[in-house]
A and B are shown apart, each in its own frame.
Chain A
């Protein structure tokens, strides 16, 4: 059996209602958990880009990419290994304002982690951090000891090192 790897999946699609259902059902049928999912505009007008992170074998991954591409509204789907992408995640922490003054270490953590304070008021302050998964994991661990009021983390967003020639494909279609 192939070993499971973490793959980033990039899917270029039409922006249509219901497509999330179709794509997530492909994973659901095979009992594969989606680690994260992000859908946004892409570099191409009127084309949506999905970035998903899943852990599975390459053999499974290839089959799933085939099933995703089979969907009528999917223009193209790719999968990439960790080395093939440049990716970021974003997270927000809400913490008690007292900590800013009582715990000097907090300010050091903010500085060293390259995170930033989004807002401060009497009751709480909010820290934002973008970075790789490990950096966010580390920050989370460091702040946990002080007590986190709220924590939210985005799905991965990624670009690939190699070009994905969707624009060319779309130009070819229009000809």
Chain B
């Protein structure tokens, strides 16, 4: 093999250098500012790993214990930082193990670039060892994907991948690179992608629609905002807060929108949806104007569409044109980036306070407090509640922690009760509802934001789906705090079984291992709490431990999450018990 030869191109000031495809992959990553990768090596991606060995002072590779862990870690990294998370895997099973995380990133609009190795191009389609059609398999769950069979295609594919992943409505992309393309040498030159003619990431803002929206908002007597992740994805928190405050509109969040304005903000009226707060759900069907910002009217948010906000004029601020009228018909659609749209809207809004309308939210909150919140946070009966664990974490972290939750009852409790002072603090699997998301996502979040307290909250079910990532935490010395709320059940399914399947607990009871021993087996300091009086000190010990820490809290076995909108019911038929 020739050694690298650097030459100047005649008509270009950029240098080209003769390198292998695998080295090109690394150089592309460096050019895109990537300094951390999550992945797992294997035969078809070995040339890239071999180059990574050479570049380990520039790119830190995190060996997760499963490729799914790599994707969730990359997601956690992306969600807290706003940067593109990158993961890497080999062909065949390595690649297919990425799929759950990719699907999760797709539905939750998380920027992620996945690089997979592939069998040599002459073997494609021959059912070669560890060959799968990962491009075909990942097509429905990627924003974009492609297969590269020649080294010379790598720079353009990588540049496009990063551009597509992070621009507009973010999402995951996958690049599959054949092994021969990784070995092949070519004249490397990298140019960042600045545009693709068939792709308009941010639709042009239409001034007329903003004016129309402002008019409706100014005339509204009972306006309500539901905001989603689009606010934080668009880095529009400041503009959003200004709009909310000037127009004095009660504002509720979808699960992924949490934190864009602090939990304690007086106009923050809580979460909407299946396990959201009582007042915003009930009053969705009472407001005269519903302003949706960067959210997609998921069925978990809307309940029955036939009754959802039928009385209201709906204004939808959205970057993705395909979301307009997809589920809920809008009066006015404001396409564009939330930051720009809200900044343009702000000067057109009249200052309002809507005191009577606010009082309705307060009255309904008082009902929810009496029937649900008081018993959740200040239980008098035996058995720890999940919510009191969150309350203790709130107290001791002062609401500054990033909470990474898994999926299930504990997730709903975490989202309902965690205090978020800062944006990008609620990291959870929203659309896909991926059990096993929490622990690996917390790894990525902590590595992206080491200055922040990152606390992973899992149930005993989801935790065991990716429990192997304790090995990653141990090896990488990631000081993430792990809380497992153990009720020895797949709690959410059990709740449904109790409510809708005559308490037939089919395969939801879990006989669990000694979680503390397992954590200690990975040399992670650990503690188990079974009594209320132990909780405060245990949380303090966890927070004050420098390294990673595992805390198991045994909570009431048959606790339920309320409020709840049964599937298919109207949001205003939300149940408190």
Contact = CB atoms under 8 A, between A and B. Distances in A.
Contact of A70 (B145, B147, B320): B320
Nearest to A174: B197
Nearest to B143: A72
Nearest to A173: B197
A35 interface: no
B136 A72 contact: no
B75 to A, nearest CB: 20
B196 A18 contact: no
Contacts of A86: none
B198 A70 contact: no
Given A18-B146, A21-B136, A21-B139, A72 B198 contact: yes
A72 B326 contact: no
A74 interface: yes
A25 B140 contact: yes
Given A13-B198, A72-B164, A74-B198, A62 B143 contact: no
A73 B198 CA distance: 5
Contact of B322 (A16, A18, A21, A69): A69
Given A18-B145, A22-B139, A25-B140, A66 B198 contact: no
Interface string B320-338: 1111111000000000000
B144 interface: yes
Q: Which of B139, B140, B147, B198 has the most CB of A within 10 A?
A: B198
A175 to B, nearest CB: 11
A62 B326 CA distance: 9
Interface residues on A, range: 20 to 34
A72 B144 contact: yes
A66 B321 contact: yes
A18 to B, nearest CB: 6
Contacts of A17: 146-147
Interface in A13-62: 13-14, 16-18, 21-22, 25, 29, 62
A73 to B, nearest CB: 5
A67 interface: yes
Given A18-B145, A25-B140, A66-B322, A72 B135 contact: no
B326 A75 contact: no
B140 A72 contact: no
A57 to B, nearest CB: 13
B198 A18 contact: no
A109 interface: no
A63 interface: yes
Interface residues of B, number: 22
B500 interface: no
Given A67-B322, A70-B321, A72-B196, 15 more contacts: A13-B198, A14-B198, A17-B146, A18-B135, A18-B139, A21-B139, A66-B323, A69-B321, A69-B322, A72-B144, A73-B198, A73-B199, A75-B198, A173-B195, A174-B197
Interface string A111-126: 0000000000000000
Given A21-B136, A72-B144, A75-B198, A63 B164 contact: no
Contacts of B324: 66
A75 B197 contact: yes
Contacts of B199: 72-73
A149 interface: no
Interface string B124-136: 0000000000011
- Nearest 8 pairs of A and B residues by beta carbon: A66-B322, A75-B198, A173-B197, A72-B144, A70-B322, A72-B199, A21-B139, A25-B140
Interface string B293-331: 000000000000000000000000000111111100000
A50 B160 CA distance: 24
Interface of A: 13-14, 16-18, 21-22, 25, 29, 62-63, 66-67, 69-70, 72-75, 170, 173-174
A22 B198 CA distance: 15
A29 B195 contact: no
A63 B197 contact: no
Contacts of A21: 136, 139
Nearest to B195: A173
28 contacts: A13-B198, A14-B197, A17-B146, A18-B135, A18-B136, A18-B139, A18-B145, A18-B146, A18-B147, A22-B140, A25-B140, A63-B322, A63-B325, A66-B323, A66-B326, A67-B322, A69-B321, A72-B143, A72-B144, A72-B164, A72-B196, A72-B199, A73-B144, A73-B198, A73-B199, A74-B198, A170-B197, A173-B195
Contacts of A22: 139-140
A6 B457 CA distance: 51
A25 B139 contact: yes
Nearest to A73: B198
Contacts of B197: 14, 75, 170, 173-174
B325 A62 contact: yes
Interface string B110-139: 000000000000000000000000011001
Nearest to A62: B325
A171 to B, nearest CB: 10
Contacts of B135: 18
A28 B389 CA distance: 45
Contacts of B196: 72-73
A25 B135 CA distance: 13
B459 to A, nearest CB: 30
A70 B296 CA distance: 15
Contacts of B136: 18, 21
A29 B140 CA distance: 9
Contacts of A74: 198
Contacts of A29: 140
Nearest to B326: A63
B121 to A, nearest CB: 13
Interface string B188-207: 00000001111100000000
A173 B197 CA distance: 6
A102 to B, nearest CB: 48
